Every structure is written in C-alpha cells, then in structure tokens.
Chains A and B, each alone.
Chain A
Amino acid sequence: MPAASNPLTQTGEPITWNFKLLAQNDLGGFGGMGEGMAVQIAKDGRRIIWLAHESAPKNFTGVDVSDPRHPKVVVQTALPQAHMRSNSLEMTGDILAVAYQTQKTGQQPAGLELFDVSVPEKPRSISFFDCSGATSRGVHQLWFCDGEYVHMASGAPDFKPSNPLDDQFYRCIDVRNPAKPVEVGRWWMPGTSATDNVAPPPRHPLDKGYRAHNTNVYPDRPDRLYLCYIDGGMFVMDIKDKANPKPISHWTNSPPYTGFMHTAVPLFDRNLMLVTDESTENSAKDWPKLIWVLDMRDETHPISIATCPLPPVDAYANRGGRFGAHNIHENTPGPTAWKSDQIVLGTFFNGGLRAYDISNPYQPKEVAAFVPPAPKGSPVGAIQLNDVYVDERQIVYTMDRFSGGLYTLEMDF
C-alpha cells in the first residue's frame, strides 16, 4: 500500500539537533545505499569515500568528499547481474574489498572481489574469490582493515547448512597476495552445519537465520574476532590461530528479543563493548531493536549494563519503513576513521541518525539527532538511514537505504 493512502501512516517534523547538515547527494539517482563505507586519501590528496549500494544495479560509488559541503561522485560501478547485491565493502590503502551476495543459493557470481582504486576514477579488479555454491548466497559482509586478511560472513561451495537460512558463517581469507586470496580459517556456530553432531539451534519466531554478520578485528587485539551471528548472538572469538578459531564467550538477548544481532564494537580502553541489533521489519514489528552496552572487564563473561535510549516507538512505528537500530560508527582501524569511546553514533532507519554520550556507560544520553525529511523517490515515505561513518576530521557521513544517497554533517555538541 502506498504510504500516502495508508491510514496508519504518521509523519513527523524533521529534526536537526546538534548536527549541522553540510550536504546531501543522491548519487546520480542511485541513492539506495547499503552498509559499507570507507574513506581513502588518494595519491593526489583527494579524500574519497567508497560507498556500498543496498541492491543492484549499482555495485559501489566513490565520492570526493575533500570538501564535505560539496561531495562529488567520481565513479559509480555496475553489477553484472540483477540478482546480485554488494552491500558491504572495506578498504586498506588503495585496495577495496567488495562483498557479493546473490538473492538465491546457487546463483553466480557470489564471493569477494578486490579492486585497486589507486586511480579512483578507474577501479581495476585485482582478483575474485568465488564463494558460490549449491547452498551458498556468497558474502554478505566483510572486514578488511589490516591489508592482510579479509574476515567475512560468507557461504562456501563445500558447506552444507543444517537449515538453508544458515548458509553464511565466518571465513578468514589471506589476501597478503591480493592476486591470489586463500582461505585460512573458518568457524560456524555449532549445529548449523549438516555435518555437525550437535543438534541445530532452535529457530526464532522471525527466523532470520543463524548466520554470521559483522566480523570485526582490531589492531588493539589482533587475536580477537568480535562476531555477531544474526539469530545466534555475539561471540568473542580467539583467532590467534587463524586456522582454528575458538569461541571465548557468547552473549545473546534473544529470546526474548527477536534476534538479528548485527555489530559488536569493543571499546578496549574502557572495558566496554557496543552491540547492535538490526531492525528488519517494517512498522517496528520487531521492536525493540537497540544498541546495547556491555561490561567486558571479563571477556569470558560479557554483562549487559545499558541500552541507548530511543524516542517513543508509537511516534515512529508507522512513519514508513523500519524503525530501530542498525549500524554504528565502528572505530574502523586506519588513519581516516574517528576513534571514540565516549560518543556513539548509530543509524535507526526512520529514527534517523543519533549520537549518544556514554561517558557514564550505565546511562547513555542522547546528545544529537538528525531525522531528515523523506528523500525524493522514497518508496516508504520516510528516511531510512542505514549506515554511518565518521572520518578523522569528525565529519559524519550517513546514507539512506532507498533513495537519499549520502548526507554529510558536522557534530555540533
């Protein structure tokens, strides 16, 4: 039903509180953006942000944000197949890693592609690592921050899940020779492989699958992987021996919550961790989807101590599309990302972009919000902010899932 004719549809006044909007760019009309954002300083000094698209036909877009008030698209690439999506990307230096996922198992191409973007206008493919298979949809998400290993949530031709929805698991790919990526390790949640002699985990009511999502590894602890496993919760993994990842601890909120755990960001200096859920249902049917704060003083025993407060669900649920947590700024390693263990920035679909002060981690406080009007061409009649990245200049980049493209902002608090 179109948003306008739905009697339940609400609208709300836009909010720009303690943010300053610098610019919006709909990326040439292809402003439906996914959850991959990475900033490169090109050889000629230009600052390029690389953005993943939510779905076909576009693959990735490079935008010159040297002047964040005037972002300029420098390149936009296309996917070879309409059944593909490249929802995630990450980069080290001039090498961009892109995740390819297909709509159905068995489709191709599905996998990981590395590009040389040393000339941003002309991305050049270095290699393709095939992850397609009869029971695989390829790669949903990847992490590539040390120039050596890609950590990713992927299916594989030789992996048969016990349930078809559980096809993506953790894989570690050695790309030290970027022309020849080689898998060096993998781990899946016990019971999710058809070959396991452990009973498969019980299904959740929304049944989004027991599969890997974010696979974050930081230079502060190169022997640790912070893995979120959609319906399975968060795992702290020991990856000292990459060939043999071992779980150290596990934390989940579901049930009674509704699954889809998404991202885990450790705040090493503070013994804290942020864990996000993703809202995947329209009209907040999976409410509440939250950013959780965990006490990680003992990494073997994570304890949830707070969540970041959201505005009233009844004021947002029926504005169109989703309302709830999704991505947060991940303190991505590397010189072009802001590092913060005091302020958390997260996207909440129609709840916009919100910033929280966690100086007292027991009482996160909302300190800024950006809820722009529905972008032109939005099929749901509301903003759907999907991902956020903050560069080392403290310029905030956020993007819309359907049509709004890229928004650049300053923090003003």
Chain B
Amino acid sequence: MNELFPSPAAGMFGRRLKREQGHRIPVTVITGFLGAGKTTLLRRFLGTPEGKGTAVVVNEFGATGIDDVLVRSSADETVLLGNGCLCCIARSDLQLALRRLVVERERGELPDFKRIVIETSGLADPSPILQTFATDRALGELFHVEAVVTVVDAETGGDTLGWSSEARKQVILADRLVVTKTDIAGEGAAAALAAQLRALNPGAEILEAVNAALDPSRLTEPANDQRNAFVAEATHSDGIGSFVLTESTPMPWPAFAKAMDTLMALRGPDLLRVKGFLDVAGCNGPVVVQFVQHLAHPPVELTAWPDGNRQSRVVFITRKISERQVRDLFAAVRALV
C-alpha cells in the first residue's frame, strides 16, 4: 500500500494517531465480585458531568433502574443455548448489543453517546470480553477498551479472593482496582486487602471509594500511563506473575512479531495480558501493542511518546512464564531475524 499510495504522514501501522483509541469509541469495563458495589459506583459516575453521554451495557440479567441514561441489558437478546460454551454465548450477546448501539446512533434513533461502560456479571472472568474486542474485527474497529476497573469489597473481598479464581482473574487483569466499603471493614482489613491486591497485581492503581465516591476520571482515563510503575516479577499461588520488558534500542518489528507469535503459539493460554509501548525501528511515535492470550490487537502508532521517554516498555501478565524466559526468547529471535 505504502508503495502504491505513499505518504510521509503514514507509518507502517497506518496514520499516526494522537491517542491509542484514535477515532474509536472508548469502552470502560467494570468488573468485580457480586455485591462489591459496581452498580453503585456506576450510578455515581453517571451523575457527574464526566459521566454525561455514557451508554451502559449491563452484561447481566435484571440490572435495570439506572435513571437518565441509556441502559442496555445484553441479556435482553434471546440467547440460544446450544453450543454449550457459555463464554461464547455471552460474547455474541455483547457483540450484538454493542453493534446495535452504534447502528442506532448512526441512524439518529439514539441520543449521542461518547463512551460505553460495560458492567460485567459478578461471576465473569473479564478476559473473554477483552478477547471479543481483539477478535471481532468489526467491533475492534469501532471500540477501544480504555480501562478495566475492578471493584473489590473491603469487607469480604479478601475471603473471596481466597476461594474464587474468577475474582483473582478480575484483579489480575485490572488496570485500576477500586476498594469499596472501607468504612465498614475497618482499617486493618482494608490494609490487608490492599497488600493482597498489590501481590496479585502490582501494576494497577489502587483507589478507595467510600460511599462510591471516586474521581470520575478514574473510569474514563486511558490506562496506559498506569503501566510504568510495574514491580518486576511478582508471583502468587496461581503461578500468575507480571513483569515489564524494557528495551532502550529500537526493536525491528519482524523480531517483535515473530517472538510474540512464538509465545502465543507455545503458551497462548498462559499469556493473560500483554500491553505496552514499543520503539519500533523506522517508526516515529511509539507503537502500542496489546495481546490477550493467543490474540493480538492491531498495533497502533501514536504521534508522540507520552512522557518523552523513548524506551520500549511492555507489561506481561503471565501464568508460569518467567521474565527470564521471555527475555531469552526475544534475544534469540532478535539474533536470528
């Protein structure tokens, strides 16, 4: 394409964008265990000026009664339970609900909206939702997940994390963790929970929301900037750990792509989330890369490095894959490409 219709303004990943979402509609995913306070938090947000123009998709049956905003329950769709895979059914349901929102807005049948908040069912592992945006080309073209916000109840959250692998997954995949009910739980419990959360997900920003009061920007701001302060190598009982791969010299794109292909092919299910900025040889701006298990989001080149620091930094959240293994793989591939 670049040879047929060249342009100095377009890099190898197309037109450079001011921000990662480009023209796409920002999506915030709110997860959290049953009773953690997701709906209360969302209601408060919708009442703020920042919450104006938010379309809400509730991925759970029976969640109604949020006033003055558009509420869509994707469970309203008739779901054919037939193929046995609940995760896939939930996804197609969500896909339909999201597409309908866009089509109806385009036709002028819905009030204009600026962003979408998906409130997931308490029991849900959020990774299928993230995968949806990576695999559905039509959806990925229209929407961009800006932040995964997980709500944890200070009173019972610690226990829940102990027995529920879904709850742990929700915490591990979060960009931001919002701890609720700290006034009820008391300081000791809140501090213990914070330590537990920090161990599971050292990169996430941990926020407290007393009476659901939270700075609305924490639900709307892209999560990129949060990812610079990752603590290297943190592992816990599930074998899940996270680390940041940094690199000061420009990376040839084929080397990065081949290394990630190999990782996805060999250990896709254990590659829970990979996201970061890459200094790609031949590109001006940082290239945002994102992977969820065996799926890759299309890379996006931005116009400028957010903090002027031209260093590749890619966060890995993995299960039983060590930083050393990934580093060695990248080094080996770079040497060969």
- Measuring CB to CB, which residues of chain A are less than 8 angstroms from any residue of chain B? 10-18, 269-272, 295, 297, 311-312, 315-316, 319, 340-343, 357, 359-362, 365-368, 371, 413
Q: Of B5, B23, B110, which contacts A367 at CB under 8 A?
A: B23
Which of B101-109, B158-166, B172-180 binds A? Answer: B101-109
- 10 pairs, CB–CB < 8 Å, chain A vs chain B: A12-B109, A13-B105, A13-B111, A15-B105, A17-B112, A295-B4, A315-B107, A340-B9, A341-B7, A357-B15
Q: How far is the CA of A361 from the CA of B107 in the complex (A)?
A: 25
Question: Are A270 and B23 closer than 8 Å at their CB atoms?
Answer: no
Residues in B neighbouring A362, C-beta threshold 8 A: 1
Residues in B with CB closer than 8 Å to A359 are 7, 10, 14-15
Chain A residues, Cβ within 8 Å of B4: 271, 295, 297
Known: A342-B10, A368-B23. A361 touches B108 (CB 8 A): no
Nearest 6 pairs of A and B residues by beta carbon = A12-B108, A367-B23, A315-B107, A359-B15, A413-B23, A359-B14
In Å, the complex CA distance between A371 and B107 comes to: 11
Name the distance in Å between A358's Cβ and chain B's nearest Cβ: 9
- A14–B9 CA distance with the chains assembled, in angstroms: 32
Q: Report chain A residues within 8 Å CB of B107.
A: 12, 311-312, 315
Chain B residues within an 8 Å CB radius of A371: 108
From A296, which residue of chain B is reached at the shortest CB distance?
Answer: B5
- B141: Cβ under 8 A from any A Cβ: yes
Give CA–CA (A341, B15) in the complex, Å: 10
Find out whether the CB atom of A413 lies under 8 angstroms from the CB atom of B22: yes
Report chain A residues within 8 Å CB of B14: 357, 359-360
**Does A270 lie within 8 Å of B141, measured CB to CB?**
no
Assembly CA distance A343 to B141 (angstroms): 17
What residue in chain B is nearest A10 (Cβ atoms)? Answer: B108
| Contact indicator A269/B7 (Cβ below 8 Å) | yes
- Whole-angstrom distance between the Cβ of A329 and the nearest chain B Cβ: 15
Are A413 and B18 neighbours in the complex by a CB distance under 8 Å? Answer: yes
Main secondary structure of the interface of A (DSSP, over half): loop
Q: Which positions 180-229 of chain B face chain A at CB distance < 8 Å?
A: none
Which residues of B sit under 8 angstroms from A10, Cβ to Cβ? 108
Interface size bucket, B side?
20 to 34
- Specify the chain A residue showing the minimal Cβ separation from B22: A413
Q: Is B8 an interface residue (CB 8 A)?
A: yes
**Distance between B337 CB and nearest chain A CB, rounded to angstroms:** 26
The CA-CA distance from A14 to B111 in the complex, in Å, is: 7
A312 touches B106 (CB 8 A): yes
- CB A394 to nearest CB in B, in angstroms, measures 11
Inter-chain CA distance A295–B1, complex, in Å, is 12
CB-based contact A357/B23 at 8 Å: yes
- Cβ A269 vs Cβ B8 within 8 A: yes
Q: B6 at the A/B interface (Cβ < 8 Å)?
A: yes
Please tell me which one of the listed residues B5, B15, B112 contacts residue A15 in the complex, with CB atoms under 8 A apart. Answer: B112
Q: Are A16 and B112 in contact (CB under 8 A)?
A: yes
Give, as a whole number of angstroms, the nearest-CB distance from A39 to chain B: 22
Contact assessment for A15 and B10 in the assembled complex, using a CB-CB cutoff below 8 Å:
no
Residue from the list A15, A295, A341, A367 in contact with B108, Cβ < 8 A: A15
Q: How far is the CA of A353 from the CA of B17 in the complex (A)?
A: 21
Q: A365–B23 Cα gap in the complex (Å)? A: 10
- Give A351 Cβ to nearest chain B Cβ, in Å: 10
Contacting residues, chain B, for A366 (C-beta < 8 A) = 23
Residues in chain A near residue B23, CB distance under 8 A: 18, 357, 365-368, 413
Q: How far is the CA of A340 from the CA of B16 in the complex (A)?
A: 13
Residues of B within 8 A of A365 (CB): 23, 141
Interchain CB contact under 8 A, A361 and B5: yes
Contact residues in B for A357 (Cβ distance below 8 Å) = 14-15, 23
How many angstroms between the C-alpha atoms of A343 and B23 in the bound complex?
A: 12
Q: Nearest chain B CB to A102's CB is how many angstroms away?
A: 38
Min CB distance, A367 to chain B, in Å? 3
Question: For A17, what are the chain B residues with a Cβ–Cβ distance below 8 Å?
Answer: 105, 112
CB of A365, distance to nearest CB on chain B (Å): 7
Q: Collect the chain B residues with CB atoms within 8 Å of residue A295's CB.
A: 4-5
User: Once bound together, how far apart are the Cα atoms of A274 and B156, in whole Å?
Assistant: 61
Q: Which residues of B contact A311 (CB under 8 A)?
A: 106-107
Which residue of chain A is the closest to B23 with respect to CB atoms? A367
Cβ contact within 8 Å between B112 and A272: no
A272, B109: Cβ atoms under 8 Å?
Answer: no
Do B106 and A315 have beta carbons less than 8 Å apart? yes
**Closest B residue to A315 using CB positions:** B107
Given contacts A413-B18, A413-B23, contact A342 B108 (CB under 8 A): no
